[in-house]
Amino acid sequence: MSTVTIGCKLPNGIHMQVGDSPRVRILGWNNNEIAGLSHGITREVPASLWEAWRKEHADSKLVTNGIIFAEESEKRAKDKAKDNKEQKSGFEQLAQIKETDKAGVLGKSDV
């Protein structure tokens, strides 16, 4: 059986399933075992599941923006995650307000 390594920039990852295939947990960056990597890396995902899921979600921003991607090897997945480190998912942590910051530093939310 052919497998792929999936990178996922969502904080908590997702569960990937198509039809009645087994559900596979895709790790997000909160579960990342590699310090400094902005994506979770999930190894040995069946390639057939990835292809079916990608086809089913072809118009999703998760796929079109590269928030979730697959590579044939773990090294290539890690390299792609490093290259896409600056890609925004929309789930990034907001900057923390310090006591020395002026009111409004984050906009209307902290006035």
Residue positions counted in the chain: 111
Contact 58, 50 (CB under 8 A): no
Domain boundaries, the chain: 3-83
What pLDDT sits at residue 14? 92
Question: pLDDT tens, 19-51?
Answer: 998 999 999 888 776 656 678 899 999 999 999
Say yes or no to pLDDT of 16 above 70.
Answer: yes
Residues 9-26, mean pLDDT to the nearest whole number: 91
